[in-house]
């Protein structure tokens, strides 16, 4: 046997032993990165399950979603748990397919959807029920207002869940304090398709906007009345509803779907609309200024995507300009090489990312005013570009950069910064709006897995994450429907034909969706992950809670943790308000089971 083979066998053996809990490889200068027992609050181990999502909730609660790793149980529904973040005690356990856990005040609220009833209960830290309400309806969409302590529910008749499309709709507002009904509005009959995404409803400070079941509706939250309820044919479908992206205030709302762009005026209804004729165009972002409505789409092809940007005159809907540009980057499942999404709009300028650069466009003409080239590595791993105050920030996996929105001048930059393995913003969510989300359409979507439909149902609207805004959107019943559609659609999908399925995608994925909690809008909180690169395919991972000041780019790095095994993956979910970190890690190795561990640490 040659020396080369002996070296290979030795490396494989050490990787296997360390990943399976065998003899660890010793490293120097790791004392400062050891997990601090002094700050560890609790620990839970999931022997037969693997964590796929961790969400920090207000008042030190945490929601955890797991799937079974045993192949015999792989088809069972994901398990959703509500855990006391202070003591690590599981307060509630149920199926993730038909339930959601939302932030309440002062208790977290569990929403469960049965076939004809919506069960809502607030739970104390002890596990006792603080209050409980049952509504004879199915939730189409719901919104939480943390400031007013309200739960708003757009519901339909119970037999819609069983396939009856014509349903009476009702809008109900409950108190998060005691569960009492504050007010309710009947909305008339809707023609609801089999699958309705939760984003058919969005909220503004004093209003609610709805486009579903062939109706367009505005509700005034101050007067507790319907401002308008009109026929809206673009929201009528027989199989599955379009996935809308909104930008709304109390005066107007702009909405983009795969069918077109729509503009509504308060107390009047639909002002204008323009069609989008490109096939496989999925709305990504929409914004409006005093003069213009701008919608950004991605046009999905088999392996590459095009960017479509449309600007319309706000008053009339006349198209000002349109840009279609191929980025030239692959659209992958993990979105590593997908182009950064989003845009920053203001001061008569629109900032987007395309062709390896940040581009400043004139709002009125669409002409390029400025271009800043971005390093290829940074561009590939960048997540999105967003406006923060007067700056345009490019949020990356390796770097973060902030530019003056007016002049394009660099304000600050962080290099070698971020987590290259945190793919919580996957391509599946970008592709979720492609064509129509339903059983028939899903079978034809080459770039869409069954999991993308699942994530769609409970995905929170951009800009409405609950951590920085008063409202956010959820849909327990929609998630159950879309999962059911996913199981049927996967039989004919490209992902299934390649050997995957909904359950196998979960179990093969080593990534965790993380939803932190932070109410400070001037601060960006993330987990910073670093690899020691001991050997090329088996590295020791360090993770720390990092707090970035968006004003000047300065940051503080706290509570450095490390995975317990060489070759281990780690993920941090950060509750910045209460100073808690939920740390998940597991070992990998040949023939090893993926045992997940969840630990809670107090940030010093």
Task: Report the CATH number that the domain containing residue 411 is assigned in CATH.
Answer: 2.130.10.10
Q: Is residue 301 part of a domain?
A: yes
Q: Is residue 22 part of a domain?
A: no
Q: Is residue 139 part of a domain?
A: no
**Tokens 């009345």 appear where?**
225
Residue 276: pLDDT band by 50, 70, 90 thresholds?
A: very high
Domain span at 541: 516-604
Q: Is residue 444 part of a domain?
A: no
- How far, CA to CA in Å, does 152 sit from each of 60, 118, 129, 192, 515? 23, 13, 20, 19, 22
For residues 392 and 284, membership in a common domain is answered with yes
For residues 406 and 538, membership in a common domain is answered with no
This model's pTM is above 0.75:
yes
For residues 399 and 527, membership in a common domain is answered with no
Tally the domains of the chain.
2
User: What tens digit of pLDDT does each residue of 390-426 get?
Assistant: 999 998 766 889 999 999 999 999 886 654 433 333 3
For residues 397 and 522, membership in a common domain is answered with no
Distance from C-alpha of 197 to C-alpha of 425, rounded to nearest angstrom: 18
Which has the higher per-residue pLDDT, 280 or 362?
Answer: 362
Distance from C-alpha of 119 to C-alpha of 135, rounded to nearest angstrom: 7
Residue 207: pLDDT band by 50, 70, 90 thresholds?
A: very high
For residues 282 and 416, membership in a common domain is answered with yes
For residues 523 and 399, membership in a common domain is answered with no
Q: Is residue 524 part of a domain?
A: yes
Distance from C-alpha of 392 to C-alpha of 347, rounded to nearest angstrom: 12
Query: What residues have CB less than 8 Å from 412, skipping those under 6 apart?
Result: 401, 402, 552, 553
pLDDT at 338 over 70: no
Domain boundary among 422, 456, 475: 422
For residues 418 and 538, membership in a common domain is answered with no
Residue 1: pLDDT band by 50, 70, 90 thresholds?
A: low
**Maximum mean pLDDT: which of 35-49, 64-78, 275-289:** 275-289
Instruction: Give the pLDDT of residue 196.
Output: 77
For residues 288 and 416, membership in a common domain is answered with yes
Average pLDDT over residues 484-489: 41
Q: What are phi and psi of 46, to 5 degrees?
A: -110, 95
For residues 294 and 418, membership in a common domain is answered with yes
pLDDT at 476 over 50: no
Q: Is residue 470 part of a domain?
A: no
Q: For the beta carbon of residue 483, count every other beta carbon within 10 angstroms.
A: 21
Under 8 Å between Cβ of 401 and 394: yes
Q: Is residue 457 part of a domain?
A: no
Domain boundary among 422, 457, 479: 422
| Cα dihedral 47, 48, 52, 56 in deg (nearest 10) | -50
Q: Is residue 381 part of a domain?
A: yes
For residues 414 and 535, membership in a common domain is answered with no
315: left (phi over 0), alpha (psi -120 to 50) or beta: alpha
Under 8 Å between Cβ of 543 and 572: yes
Containing H/E element for 579? none
Which two tokens mark 423?
A: 């793919």
Give 99's strand partners.
112
Domain boundary among 371, 398, 422: 422
């Amino acid at each position: 046997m040659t020396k080369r083979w002996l070296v290979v066998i030795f490396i494989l053996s050490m990787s296997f032993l360390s990943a399976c809990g065998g003899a660890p490889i010793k490293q120097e200068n790791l004392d400062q990165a050891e997990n601090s027992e002094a700050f560890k609050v609790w620990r839970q181990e999931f022997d037969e399950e693997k964590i796929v999502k961790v969400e920090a909730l207000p008042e030190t609660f945490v929601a955890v979603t797991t799937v079974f790793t045993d192949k015999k149980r792989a088809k069972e529904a994901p398990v959703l748990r509500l855990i006391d973040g202070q003591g690590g005690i599981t307060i509630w356990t149920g199926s993730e397919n038909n339930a959601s856990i939302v932030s309440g005040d002062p208790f977290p609220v569990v929403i469960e959807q049965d076939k004809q009833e919506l069960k809502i209960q607030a739970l104390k830290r002890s596990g006792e029920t603080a209050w409980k309400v049952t509504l004879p309806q199915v939730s189409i969409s719901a919104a939480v207002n943390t400031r007013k302590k309200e739960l708003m529910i757009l519901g339909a008749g119970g037999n819609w869940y069983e396939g009856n499309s014509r349903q009476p709709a009702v809008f109900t507002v409950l108190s998060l304090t005691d569960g009492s009904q504050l007010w309710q509005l009947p909305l008339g009959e809707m023609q609801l398709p089999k699958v309705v995404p939760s984003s058919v409803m969005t909220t503004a400070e004093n209003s609610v906007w709805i486009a579903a079941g062939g109706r367009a509706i505005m509700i005034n939250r101050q007067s507790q009345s319907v401002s308008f309820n009109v026929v809206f044919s673009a929201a009528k479908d027989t199989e599955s509803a379009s996935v809308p992206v909104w930008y709304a205030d109390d005066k107007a709302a702009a909405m983009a779907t795969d069918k077109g762009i729509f503009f509504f005026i308060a107390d009047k209804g639909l002002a204008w609309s323009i069609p989008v004729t490109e096939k496989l165009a999925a709305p990504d972002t929409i914004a409006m200024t005093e003069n213009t409505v701008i919608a950004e789409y991605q046009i999905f092809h088999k392996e590459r995507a095009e960017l479509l940007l449309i600007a319309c005159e706000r008053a009339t809907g006349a198209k000002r300009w349109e840009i279609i540009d191929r980025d030239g980057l692959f659209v992958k499942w993990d979105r590593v090489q997908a182009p950064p999404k989003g845009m920053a709009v203001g001061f008569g300028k629109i900032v987007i990312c395309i062709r390896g650069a940040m581009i400043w466009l004139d709002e009125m003409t669409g002409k390029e005013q400025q271009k800043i080239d971005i390093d290829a590595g940074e561009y590939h791993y960048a997540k999105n570009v967003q406006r923060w105050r007067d700056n345009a920030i490019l949020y990356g996996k390796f770097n973060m950069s902030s530019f003056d929105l007016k002049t394009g001048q660099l304000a600050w930059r962080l290099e070698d910064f971020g987590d290259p393995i945190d793919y919580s913003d996957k391509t599946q969510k970008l592709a979720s709006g492609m064509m129509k989300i339903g059983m028939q359409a899903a079978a034809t979507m080459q770039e869409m897995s069954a999991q993308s439909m699942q994530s769609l149902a409970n995905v929170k609207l951009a800009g409405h994450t609950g951590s920085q805004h008063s409202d956010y959107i959820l849909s327990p019943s929609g998630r159950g429907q879309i999962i059911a559609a996913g199981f049927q659609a996967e039989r004919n999908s490209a992902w299934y034909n390649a050997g995957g399925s909904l359950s196998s995608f979960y179990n093969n994925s080593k990534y965790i969706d993380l939803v932190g909690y932070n109410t400070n809008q001037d601060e960006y909180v993330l987990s910073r992950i670093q690899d020691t690169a001991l050997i090329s395919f088996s590295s020791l991972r360090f993770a720390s809670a990092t707090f970035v000041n968006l004003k000047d780019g300065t940051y503080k790095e706290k509570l450095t943790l490390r995975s317990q095994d060489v070759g281990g993956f780690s993920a941090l979910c950060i509750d910045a308000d209460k100073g808690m970190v939920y740390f998940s890690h597991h070992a990998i190795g040949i023939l090893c089971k993926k045992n997940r561990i969840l630990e809670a640490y107090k940030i010093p």
